[in-house]
Chains A and B, each alone.
Chain A
């Protein structure tokens, strides 16, 4: 028995409105733009964390749309571990200039001078110094009360409960038990001195949405996302791109294979995947056929079960 208590809305006497319902990308875009505008209206000194990756590129485009015809009214902050791919740095500098955005680059110089690297410290500690600590320092130095980030809830299990406005205490730390309930689109931006908020306008986007949007909007990306024959080292399950300064283990040889990066991080910790996808439609086709989550080729999440949750508690984005 298929029961409906009252005649469904579908049988309405009203004529169709001229405007169609927004499709899912328009709906996601509208939500993100709304969030950007709310935050800029209510925070004194916001900043965007810019990682140069595809999610950051989408974030930048949404910010451009939110404040058109004006420029993006906050700086982009890149936390540079100094282990980023050279293509990323080149892209970052060109793109920021092209869109007229103010770019802040921050490094944990003290840790780098002391020789911090993932081989000596292990990935958890290395991220701790060069990403988490560097980020917290940069936010404090800039006096930022809000920071936009490109994190999505579909990326990792502990993020499924993340708020769009994620509250951080005076130490920049995230307490999963002490987050504010978020109802409708009414975001609570009230802070006491020293507290801050991380804002995730892409919370409800999935990896597929990001790619579809990049395709629909023709958003510029770092070339590493597109497959090309590249010089690499195959190390266990990982494919490591070979640069002049790449740390090689005894007995390792380079080879040329067609590959691309699925997500961009630091050189030593981001592996490439074998791929022929050299256009956006091919990448999307590959993604749909793939059915493997994108963080898999990042070493950090697999260190221990729930490792992202531990990092977030400490202040990792």
Chain B
């Protein structure tokens, strides 16, 4: 058997090799429309970092299809399947690899057609960084806004705006500045924490790998320099709010023989330490970590992403789909939750239908109870929806048959992500980003009408709504609290009308309704009878004053 050792290799190469072993891994995704030159950019990155093997390049040179003006059509490097080579469009996520002395890169190349939101979401789900391609000769088009929105929705820590085709605008700084300002405004609005803007020309190679001689006014890094030096997501995640809160979903119970019982899994957040106290969920049992076992020997501790097998001090009941967590900061354990959904399938999502849901190592059944709103991908506005079509993005409430243990997606991608699976066809139909625990659904009702006026109170948060309900209760104002998964924003008009007819004030805890909905409600309830609360903590005195105004409006005592 040939096992070789490195004794005969040159010392210089040995040093190179050891350096290579220590490289980091960066996963990024690229989004752009067909005409933005995205495939050309990736082709250029692969080519200029010498990731393209000579024979592959030769086969592209021979290829009958060449859509580029230059001698080599770089985009052919990334278009894999025969069908799309013929159509000239990219129709699925393609993964590409290259490396430099500093890092290994995985590119998820996703198509930018608006009907392919699902592909971009797929590529973005595992990315540490997103490159949004912007055509420098056209400015920030709606499609670039959509791509940036999806990047923010999927929680990608770093977003790069690559302003391409600078050669077409004669490398004009003013054109760059205009797009730059537009993009920064958008990034800020979407809460993207790290945005970088790089002017380049993929076709000519400016600022992709080598700095451009044509844009002396740009002092920032080239695209590759940025990719090589940007701080990794993992480091960022460890600094996030739940840093130190252990999450260890059990993948597998390891019982190789009667003497060994261990729990295999990958640390989803925090640090697993031998000797630490842990809480098992959902059982609620407590025990301590006895030892951390790996093929390469026992460990004292294991950090995020490390696959290990743990042995526990006590023989507690624990199996796949359950979880070990920090006892002082457990995740939500809930059967009612709200989430953002990207719908991936041609069969629509319908409230009332049951789906299989896989979350960490746990698979449960969920029912969509209500669609709060759907996001219009052209304007990014929130609109009412009765069902979700393929590529729709929406805010949806779910109930599950068994509780899931989760953190919000914004805090931890592993603990906040879930896929939906059709219970019959077993197709993957939805991507879910969990947002909040809805607790136990409640409809509170006091029937004792004492006034003729029944206002609509838009509380904008569950907390404010509960404070308001106490005030109404104390003042003997009959009310109904609309904080229920079965009453989504789009049925607010209907629910408010029913409350009116029943002689109740309606307290709505969700976000403000859309313009369209407000107009509907105004048809039966003038805005003078609404109480719209601002964001932030409730100013009780101001609310009571306003409430009195509204209640007495009918009697001519109102000041409206």
A38 contacts across to B, CB distance below 8 A:
251, 361
Please name all residues of chain B whose beta carbon is closer than 8 Å to the beta carbon of A216 when the two chains form the complex: 21
CB contacts (< 8 Å) of B177 on chain A: these are 1
Give A79-120 interface residues, CB cut-off 8 Å to B: 91, 94-95
| Residue pair A160, B80 in contact (C-beta under 8 Å) | yes
Is B462 part of the binding interface, using a Cβ–Cβ cutoff of 8 Å? Answer: no
Per the CB 8 Å criterion, the residue count for chain B at the interface is 115
Question: Which residues of B lie under 8 Å from residue A226 when comparing CB positions?
Answer: 2, 4
> Chain B contact residues: over half helix, strand or loop, or mixed?
mixed
- The answer to whether the Cβ of B266 comes within 8 Å of any Cβ in the partner chain is yes
- Interface check A252, CB cutoff 8 A: no
Q: Are A284's CB and B231's CB within 8 A?
A: no
CB of A188 within 8 A of CB of B426, answer yes
* Stretch in B187-195, B378-386, B451-459, B487-495 touching the partner: B187-195
Could you tell me if B9 and A17 are in contact, using CB atoms closer than 8 angstroms?
A: no
A278 to B8, CA, bound (A): 9
The residue on B at minimum CB distance from A228 is B2
On whether the beta carbons of B193 and A212 are closer than 8 Å, the reply is no
Query: Which of B3, B194, B361 contacts A4 (CB under 8 A)?
Result: B194
Q: Is the CB of B1 within 8 A of A94?
A: yes
A247 neighbours in B (Cβ, 8 Å): none
- B559 lies within 8 A of chain A by Cβ: no
Q: How far is the CB of A37 from chain B (nearest CB, A)?
A: 4
Interface status of B221 (Cβ within 8 A of chain A):
yes
Is the CB of A282 closer than 8 A to any CB of chain B? Answer: yes
Which residues of chain A are near B260, meaning CB under 8 Å?
69
A6 to B190 Cα, complex, angstroms: 13
| Residue A208, interface by CB 8 Å | yes
B9 touches A9 (CB 8 A): no
B256 touching A71 by the CB < 8 A rule? yes
- Which residues in A have their C-beta under 8 angstroms from that of B7? 279
Q: Is B376 an interface residue (CB 8 A)?
A: no
Check if A204 sits within 8 Å of B106, measured CB to CB. Answer: yes
Tell me the smallest distance from the CB of A22 to a CB of chain B, in Å.
Answer: 6
Among B88-96, B366-374, B527-535, B545-553, which stretch is in contact with chain A? B88-96
**Interface size bracket, A side:** 35 or more
| Cβ-based interface call for B238 (8 A) | yes
Interface string of B302-313 (1 = CB under 8 A from A): 111111010000
Q: Find out whether the CB atom of A188 lies under 8 angstroms from the CB atom of B306.
A: no
Q: Is the CB of A215 within 8 A of B81?
A: no
Measured CB to CB, the closest approach of chain B to A309, in angstroms, equals: 6
Are the CB atoms of B236 and A9 closer together than 8 Å? yes
Q: Pick the contact of A70 from B6, B22, B104, B256 — CB < 8 Å?
A: B256
Chain B neighbourhood of A22, CB < 8 A? 25, 234, 305-306
Whether A292 touches B54, Cβ cut-off 8 Å, given contacts A183-B122, A184-B126, is yes
Q: Is the CB of A34 within 8 A of B266?
A: yes
Q: A37-B251, A64-B295, A158-B81 are in contact. Are A188 and B20 (CB under 8 A)?
A: no
**Interface hits, A139-183 → B, CB 8 Å:** 153-154, 157-161, 176, 179-183
Q: Is A220 an interface residue (CB 8 A)?
A: yes
A3 on the interface (CB 8 Å rule)?
yes
When the two chains form their complex, are residues B9 and A21 in contact, meaning their CB atoms are under 8 A apart? no
A280 in contact (CB, < 8 A): yes
Tell me if A40 counts as interface (CB < 8 A to partner B). Answer: yes
| Residues on the A chain within 8 Å of B235, using CB | 9, 21
Q: Are A212 and B21 in contact (CB under 8 A)?
A: yes
- The residue that A221 contacts in the complex, of B2, B9, B59, with Cβ under 8 A, is B2
CB <8 Å contact, B221 and A293: no
Closest chain B residue, CB of each to CB of A187 = B358
B254 touches A69 (CB 8 A): yes
B219:A23 contact, CB within 8 angstroms: no
Cα of A281 to Cα of B293 in the assembled complex, Å: 30
A65 at the interface (CB under 8 A from B): yes
Tell me which residues from 211 to 266 in chain B have a Cβ below 8 Å from any Cβ of chain A: 217-221, 231-232, 234-236, 238-239, 243, 251-252, 254-256, 260, 262, 264-266
9 A-B pairs with CB atoms under 8 Å apart are A19-B301, A21-B24, A24-B103, A33-B307, A41-B361, A176-B92, A204-B95, A215-B6, A291-B50
B residues lining the A interface (CB < 8 Å): 1-10, 13-14, 17, 20-25, 50, 53-56, 59, 63, 78-83, 85, 92-97, 99, 103-104, 106, 118-119, 121-122, 125-126, 157, 176-177, 180, 184, 187-188, 192-197, 217-221, 231-232, 234-236, 238-239, 243, 251-252, 254-256, 260, 262, 264-266, 271, 293-296, 301-307, 309, 320, 344, 356, 358-359, 361, 413-414, 417-419, 421, 425-428, 431
A18-B301, A181-B428, A206-B104 known; 12 other A-B pairs, CB under 8 Å? Answer: A1-B176, A1-B217, A3-B197, A10-B231, A14-B239, A21-B234, A68-B309, A158-B80, A190-B356, A279-B6, A281-B6, A292-B53
Residues of A within 8 A of B (CB): 1-6, 8-10, 12, 14, 17-19, 21-25, 27-30, 33-34, 37-38, 40-41, 64-71, 91, 94-95, 153-154, 157-161, 176, 179-186, 188, 190-192, 203-204, 206, 208-209, 212, 215-216, 218, 220-223, 225-226, 278-282, 284-285, 291-293, 296, 305-306, 309
